[in-house]
């Protein structure tokens, strides 16, 4: 019997002990699912099984207290990359444990690019599907599930099903996209890849002075001319600077836009990791003084009007990937990432939320504001048209009260929270924020009536 291991999400909160089993091959996965479906390996009743990738969900969706967790990272083979012959798209056939970093490093040699990436490449294909991750280009490319051409799903009966977005089992496909691993174990997938001329971005940067200017800047229509867009915003200033932002918007550069020295190897994977943080940081180091200093520096390092800057992947898209184990900087108590979405017409509530955060005394440096595009058919997918804001708060006194107030404001505005970031949502809030929940439940119940696939998050949310 494998040993119990204590697991957390990336935010390092809510630890629970599970039997962690490596998914070395299909036989091992089938055996683990079959055993988990029959009995609890620890005691106290059946606790089921859930898949886990690189552990980058912030809360508890890849934990299973007293049950089985399948470590999918051993299934990490890239079976095939097809550069395609239509001039724009290729595809990759990969195992679920392949990371976005691994796939991109390989695909870029063929002039191919992942059409959607979240804020880190340290996410597995299975995790990207289960969370239906999105990135800085949701307004132009949608979320990850939009680009999955097929997936292989092991269901509770031990069958491996091939699902496509418009095939006979399309309902199960879309219930799996964004379904947080609760319909079965994703074993592999075929992912569409976009042809690109370079691996660099041409970027425009701008600064705004307050929240009014930030929202006006984001709503003037110019965003449509950029494939990728995001803004860091100030959530700590309580004076006229509240909500000021540093915008970074861009598109993949063409070869002739690169400086001469980069044209020699335009598809070079230029994405360094500079350091790895040791696990030595004390609780309380992330405070108003340190975060305020860093926030001010981050704001002013952005040119007020920077144009046609050439940036590599980490500089523009994945700055946190330059710092290994950056979550350790919050100390052993960890942090809470809060991500919500509000409809565009409720920018009044967005303004009220930013004011509530600034006045709360809670501190967050990693704040992101983005505009989201159209939703896809997945019942539990997070994105839909609206504003999304993301903040990282160190765990401390008063944070629960702030988050409860924010939850109420999100619900009142007909908004929602993101399951991949969630660590504290209630069943009532979840049901109100995801009106297609019953539709998803009916599909899941048909394929897993005994709830073989379960997690700490699914129990907390009453799934």
pLDDT for 84 equals 78
Is 24 within the bounds of a domain? yes
The DSSP code for 119 is S
pLDDT for 45 equals 59
Percentage of residues in the chain having pLDDT higher than 90: 87
CA quadruple 178, 126, 73, 442: dihedral sign? positive
Q: Write the pLDDT tens digit of every residue in 71-109.
A: 999 999 999 999 877 678 999 999 999 999 999 999 999
The residue from 197, 230, 252 where one domain ends is: 197
Percentage of residues in the chain having pLDDT higher than 70: 97
Please report which confidence band the pLDDT of residue 42 belongs to, taking 50, 70 and 90 as the band edges: very low
45 and 184 part of one domain: no
250 and 334 part of one domain: yes
The residue from 149, 164, 197 where one domain ends is: 197
Nearest 5°: the CA angle 231, 99, 49 is 105
The residue from 176, 197, 218 where one domain ends is: 197
Q: Write the pLDDT tens digit of every residue in 320-363.
A: 999 999 999 999 999 999 999 999 999 999 999 999 999 999 99
> What would the mean pLDDT of 408-419 be, rounded to a whole number?
97
Please report which confidence band the pLDDT of residue 458 belongs to, taking 50, 70 and 90 as the band edges: very high
Radius of gyration of the chain measured on its C-alpha atoms: 22
282 and 367 part of one domain: yes
> What would the mean pLDDT of 427-452 be, rounded to a whole number?
97
Q: Write the pLDDT tens digit of every residue in 177-196.
A: 999 999 999 999 999 999 99
39 and 59 part of one domain: yes
228 and 187 part of one domain: no
Residue 237, classified by CB atoms within 10 Å of its CB into exposed (0-12), middle (13-18) or buried (19+), is middle
pLDDT for 295 equals 87
Among 391, 390, 411, residue whose Cα is nearest residue 138: 390
Residue 6, classified by CB atoms within 10 Å of its CB into exposed (0-12), middle (13-18) or buried (19+), is exposed
**CATH number reported for the structural domain that contains residue 126 in this entry:** 3.30.465.10
pLDDT for 2 equals 63
pLDDT for 276 equals 94
**CATH number reported for the structural domain that contains residue 376 in this entry:** 3.40.462
For the chain, the average pLDDT equals 94
252 and 340 part of one domain: yes
Is 182 within the bounds of a domain? yes
Is 435 within the bounds of a domain? no
Overall number of domains in the chain: 3
The DSSP code for 110 is G
In the numeric block, the tokens 């496509």 are attached to: 164
Among 304, 332, 331, 311, residue whose Cα is nearest residue 257: 311
What is the pTM for the complete model shown?
A: 0.95
Please report which confidence band the pLDDT of residue 174 belongs to, taking 50, 70 and 90 as the band edges: very high
Nearest 5°: the CA angle 410, 413, 415 is 55
- Structure token digits, residue 437: 């929940």
pLDDT for 223 equals 85
Please report which confidence band the pLDDT of residue 219 belongs to, taking 50, 70 and 90 as the band edges: confident
Pairwise CA distance, residues 155 & 448, whole Å:
7
> What would the mean pLDDT of 383-397 be, rounded to a whole number?
96
Is 437 within the bounds of a domain? no
pLDDT for 451 equals 94
Pairwise CA distance, residues 10 & 131, whole Å:
14
357 and 411 part of one domain: yes
**CATH number reported for the structural domain that contains residue 9 in this entry:** 3.30.43.10
Full domain range(s) for residue 16: 4-71+449-460
Pairwise CA distance, residues 199 & 295, whole Å:
29
Q: Write the pLDDT tens digit of every residue in 258-316.
A: 999 999 999 999 888 889 999 999 998 888 899 888 889 888 998 899 999 999 999 99
60 and 107 part of one domain: no
- Structure token digits, residue 383: 């994105």
Is 432 within the bounds of a domain? no
- Structure token digits, residue 113: 């690019």
Cβ atoms of 310 and 261 closer than 8 Å: no
Partnered with residue 280 across adjacent β-strands are none
Q: Is the pLDDT of residue 40 over 60?
A: no
pLDDT for 86 equals 66
pLDDT for 41 equals 44
What are the respective helix, strand and coil percentages of the chain, to the nearest 5? 30, 25, 45
- Structure token digits, residue 301: 């390092």
Strands 185-195 and 160-163 turn out to be: unpaired
């Amino acid at each position: 019997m494998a040993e119990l291991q204590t697991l957390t999400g990336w935010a390092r909160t809510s630890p629970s002990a599970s039997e962690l089993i490596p998914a070395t091959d299909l036989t091992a996965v089938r055996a683990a699912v079959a055993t988990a479906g029959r009995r609890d390996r620890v005691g106290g009743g059946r606790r089921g099984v859930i898949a886990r990738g690189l552990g980058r969900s912030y809360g508890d969706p890849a934990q299973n207290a007293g049950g089985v967790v399948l470590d999918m990272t051993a299934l990490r083979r890239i079976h095939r990359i097809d550069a395609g012959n239509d001039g724009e798209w290729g595809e990759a056939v990969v195992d679920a444990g392949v990371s976005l970093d691994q796939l991109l490093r390989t695909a870029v040699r063929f002039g191919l690019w992942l059409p959607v990436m979240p804020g880190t490449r340290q996410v597995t294909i299975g995790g990207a599907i289960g969370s239906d991750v999105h990135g800085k280009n949701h307004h132009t490319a949608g979320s990850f599930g939009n680009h999955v051409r097929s997936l292989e799903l092991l269901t509770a009966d031990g069958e491996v099903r091939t699902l496509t977005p418009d095939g006979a089992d399309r309902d199960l496909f879309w219930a799996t996209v964004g379904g947080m691993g609760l319909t079965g174990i994703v074993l592999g997938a075929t992912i569409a890849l976009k042809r690109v001329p370079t691996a660099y971005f041409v970027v425009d940067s701008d600064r705004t002075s307050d929240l009014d200017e930030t929202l006006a800047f984001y709503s003037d229509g110019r965003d449509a001319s950029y494939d990728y867009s995001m803004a860091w915003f100030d959530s700590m200033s309580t004076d006229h600077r509240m909500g000021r932002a540093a915008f970074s918007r861009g598109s993949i550069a063409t070869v002739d836009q690169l400086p001469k020295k980069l044209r020699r190897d335009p598809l070079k994977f230029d994405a360094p990791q500079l350091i790895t943080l040791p696990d030595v940081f004390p609780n309380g180091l992330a405070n108003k003084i340190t975060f305020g200093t860093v926030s001010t520096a981050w704001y002013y390092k952005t040119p007020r009007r920077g144009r046609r800057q050439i940036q590599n992947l980490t500089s523009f898209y994945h700055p946190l990937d330059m710092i290994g184990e950056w979550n350790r900087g919050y100390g052993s108590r960890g942090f809470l990432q809060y991500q919500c979405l509000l409809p565009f017409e409720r920018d009044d509530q967005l303004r009220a939320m930013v004011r509530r955060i600034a006045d709360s005394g809670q501190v967050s440096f990693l704040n992101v504001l983005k505009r989201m595009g159209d939703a896809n058919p997945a019942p539990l997918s997070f994105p839909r048209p609206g504003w999304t804001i993301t903040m990282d708060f160190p765990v401390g006194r008063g944070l629960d009260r702030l988050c409860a107030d924010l939850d109420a404001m999100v619900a009142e505005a007909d908004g929602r929270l993101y399951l991949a970031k969630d660590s504290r949502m209630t069943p009532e809030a979840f049901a109100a924020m995801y009106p297609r929940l019953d539709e998803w439940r009916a599909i899941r119940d048909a394929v897993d009536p005994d709830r073989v696939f379960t997690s700490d998050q699914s129990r907390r949310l009453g799934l």
